């Protein structure tokens, strides 16, 4: 039986084998560049002048025929008076070499004649200067080429193309354990078995059980898939290789497959270990031959499948992967023997959100009035990342207001900022607009308050926010529901359409403020008809299918044109019925609608308790009083 060392292994050292002879490449390239530059310089400089002999120069000098003379360290450049009188485009300059032995005397003679003379240098010194200049240029180019070739052979070019970009995370580096992950008890339980196998493999091998080679973490963005993988690294106390699926995709064919090979070779050296591939859909997308095969992505996927099949799970190599698009993954990747397990990392329930809030508020100083249970109830549908952001925003708000603790108001205001954005203090509405907004929001709230199955209203405001809302009504469910009946969905529709109904009842007008309400109502009615089988005409038929469940989760029709027309008629009928019901409720309670709207116009923001005080008072006033005749009959 093979025993495993439970102590953390050291990550593989990349510099154990240094490439030999790598210095020759930059050396040769630098020398070639220097020679080419020197040759080009000489060619260009000489092409500007016509070469003559020193005798010809001396004759022009003695006869006074020189117009311009420049004596440089290696040559004499001059122009005769005949050339100087020609047009500029036709002039020619001449050059000749320095005389042997008497360069200084010539320089003094030219200086007395009034010509420019750069520091005269004898032939030996000019040679030394040229050598020093070329040596300096060679050194600079060599250092640059040396750094460039080191990078090319190490990290991502030339020989480094096939190197894996995986990072090795040890327990001290991640600093994350299962105590830092809340609301995902089922996922942690599945991963705990993998960790136990890495710690005690003999317990499983004695009975003949094999460790799953791979586990796929599936869930919506922000649910904590990567956090769970890091927690596994912290709990398992073994090397943890982390790489993104997009890191395998390269411009050059074959580089992705090479990186896959390198990654698993590194993992085999330090087993037991965990390999985590984030966003595996970037490389594991289903292969399609419609547009031709043998692409870089297909080669990388084939190599990944081969590596997963090739390693021995008894050695303790576990491959974890994360995605939010499991429907597009290749079926060969998901078959037993590869990614055997699919671990759903779903949105947390009420208890999960409460536990997550407790985790994120460990290091936050909270005041005594904080009730995380209410925050958890109000944040239905939020994921771990949303809750972490909410707590951080609340802490920032407390600092802005000069307090040292976070109170309940900070948390609720931060939640509202996530929903509707911050308040727009500079937006000034006219009296008519403000009145319309008030009746619109009270229409939502009053319909919800008068319905038995509606969620309780928590807050009503007519203060404009940066999300574009001129006001909003917030609801907080008393308990978390996982199923909804048709009657409950119809109540939701009447509540959503209550704003437009109030506009029609009070002002006899339709405003653009109901645009978002109509979109939400239409979407819900379509789901009732196309997915939930709640249509009288279509019955149990589901002409739509949900795509990308863990992303936007939109439903797309997959039916004939006749059926699509029937869907439209059914949706329209449901919306019209709910709209008429909402108008009837508000018409019957017009006095109560006016009273609450006037109160909201004064305060701009009212709570659900204040709303229910008006509703309960109206109900008690409407109850029939007992008369003497009633008692006589009894």
> Which residues are identified as catalytic?
441
Phi first, then psi, for residue 66 (nearest 5°) are -90, 135
Burial class (CB within 10 angstroms; exposed 0-12, middle 13-18, buried 19+) of 505: buried
Query: What's the rounded Cα separation, in Å, for the pair 280 and 260?
Result: 12
DSSP-assigned beta bridge partners for residue 481: none
Q: Within 10 Å of residue 357's Cβ, how many Cβ atoms?
A: 26
Q: Is 195 left (phi over 0), alpha (psi -120 to 50) or beta?
A: alpha
Compute and round to an integer the Cα radius of gyration of the chain: 40
- Residue 478 to residue 580: CA distance in whole angstroms: 27
Q: How far apart are CA 199 and CA 115, in angstroms?
A: 90
Is the bond leading into 427 cis (omega within 30 degrees of zero)?
no
In order of 90, 444, 496, 576, the CA distances from 579 in angstroms are 92, 12, 9, 5
| d(C-alpha 548, C-alpha 333), whole Å | 18
Return the closest-CA partner of residue 166 out of 257, 59, 248: 248
- The pair phi, psi for residue 495, each rounded to 5°, is -65, -45
How far the first Cα of the chain sits from its last, in Å, is: 90
Strand segments, DSSP code E, in 160-255 are: 167-169, 214-218, 240-244
Q: Are the C-beta atoms of 63 and 113 separated by less than 8 Å?
A: no
Strand, helix or coil at 605?
strand
Q: Is the CA virtual torsion 495, 500, 501, 506 positive or negative?
A: positive
Going from the C-alpha of 344 to that of each of 66, 191, 355, 440, 551, the distances in angstroms are: 93, 11, 18, 41, 14
**To 5 degrees, how large is the angle CA 22–CA 23–CA 28?**
110
Q: How far, in Å, CA of 98 to CA of 101, rounded?
A: 9
What are 545's strand-pairing partners?
556
CA distances from 233 to 122, 166, 269, 318 (A): 73, 14, 17, 11
How far, in whole angstroms, is CA 467 from its chain's centroid?
21
Long-range contacts of 118-125 (CB under 8 A, 24+ apart): 118/70, 118/71, 118/72, 118/73, 119/73, 120/71, 120/73, 121/73, 121/74, 123/74, 123/98, 125/73
Q: Give me the DSSP letters along 387-443.
A: HHHHHHHHHHHHHHTT-SSB-HHHHHHHHHHHHH-SB-TT----HHHHHHHHHHHHH
CA angle 437, 442, 448 (to 5 degrees): 140
Q: How far apart are CA 155 and CA 164, in angstroms?
A: 9
Q: Give the residues across from 321 on adjacent strands.
A: 216, 277
């Amino acid at each position: 039986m093979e025993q495993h060392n439970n102590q953390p292994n050291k990550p593989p050292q990349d510099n154990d084998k240094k490439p030999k002879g790598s210095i020759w490449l930059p050396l040769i390239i630098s020398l070639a560049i220097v020679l080419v530059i020197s040759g080009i310089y000489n060619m260009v400089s000489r092409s500007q002048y016509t070469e003559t002999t020193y005798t010809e120069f001396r004759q022009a000098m003695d006869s006074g025929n020189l117009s311009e003379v420049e004596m440089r360290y290696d040559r004499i450049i001059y122009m005769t008076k005949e050339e100087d009188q020609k047009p500029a485009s036709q002039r020619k300059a001449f050059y000749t070499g320095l005389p042997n032995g008497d360069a200084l005397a010539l320089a003094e003679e030219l200086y007395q004649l009034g010509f420019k003379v750069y520091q005269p240098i004898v032939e030996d010194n000019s040679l030394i200067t040229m050598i020093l200049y070329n040596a300096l240029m060679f050194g600079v180019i060599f250092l640059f080429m040396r750094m460039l070739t080191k990078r090319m052979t190490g990290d991502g070019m030339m020989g480094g193309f096939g190197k894996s970009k995986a990072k090795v995370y040890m327990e001290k580096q991640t600093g994350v354990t299962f105590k830092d992950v809340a609301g995902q008890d089922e996922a942690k339980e599945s991963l705990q078995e993998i960790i136990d196998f890495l710690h005690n493999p003999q317990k499983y091998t004695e009975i003949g059980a094999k460790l799953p080679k791979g586990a796929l973490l599936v869930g919506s963005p922000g649910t904590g898939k990567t956090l769970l993988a890091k927690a596994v690294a912290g709990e398992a106390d073994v090397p943890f290789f982390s790489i993104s699926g997009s890191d395998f995709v390269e411009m050059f064919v074959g580089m992705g497959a090479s990186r896959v090979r390198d990654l698993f070779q590194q993992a085999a050296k330090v087993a037991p270990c965990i390999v985590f591939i984030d966003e595996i859909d970037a490389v594991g997308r289903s292969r399609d031959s419609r547009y031709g095969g043998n692409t870089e992505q297909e080669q990388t996927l084939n190599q990944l499948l081969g590596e997963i099949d090739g390693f021995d799970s008894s050695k303790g190599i576990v491959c974890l992967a994360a995605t939010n698009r499991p429907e597009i993954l290749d079926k060969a990747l998901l078959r037993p023997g590869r990614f055997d397990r699919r671990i759903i990392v779903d949105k947390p329930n009420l208890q999960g959100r409460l536990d997550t809030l407790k985790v994120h508020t460990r290091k936050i100083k909270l005041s005594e009035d904080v009730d995380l249970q209410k925050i958890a109830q109000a944040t239905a549908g939020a994921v771990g990342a949303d809750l972490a952001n909410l707590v951080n925003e609340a802490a920032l708000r407390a600092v802005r207001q000069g307090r040292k603790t976070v109170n309940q108001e900070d948390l609720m205001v931060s939640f509202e900022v996530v929903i509707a954005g911050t308040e727009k203090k500079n937006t000034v509405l006219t009296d008519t607009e403000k009145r319309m907004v008030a009746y619109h929001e009270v229409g939502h709230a009053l319909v919800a308050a008068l319905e038995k199955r509606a969620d309780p209203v928590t807050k009503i405001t007519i203060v404009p926010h940066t999300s574009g809302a001129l006001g909003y009504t917030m609801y907080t469910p008393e308990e978390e529901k996982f199923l909804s009946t048709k009657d409950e969905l119809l109540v939701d529709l009447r509540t959503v359409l209550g704003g437009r109904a109030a506009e029609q009842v009070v002002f006899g007008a339709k405003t653009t403020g109901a645009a978002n309400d109509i979109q939400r109502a239409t979407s819900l009615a379509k789901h009732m008809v196309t997915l939930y089988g709640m249509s009288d005409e279509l019955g149990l038929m589901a002409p739509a299918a949900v795509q990308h469940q863990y992303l936007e989760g939109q439903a797309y029709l997959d039916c004939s044109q006749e059926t699509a027309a029937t869907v439209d008629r059914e949706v329209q009928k449901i919306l019209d019925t709910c709209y008429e019901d909402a108008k009837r409720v508000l018409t019957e309670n017009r006095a109560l609608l006016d009273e609450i709207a006037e109160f909201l116009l004064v305060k701009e923001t009212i709570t659900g308790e204040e709303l229910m005080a008006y509703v309960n008072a109206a109900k008690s006033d409407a109850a029939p009083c007992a008369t003497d005749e009633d008692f006589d009959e009894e």
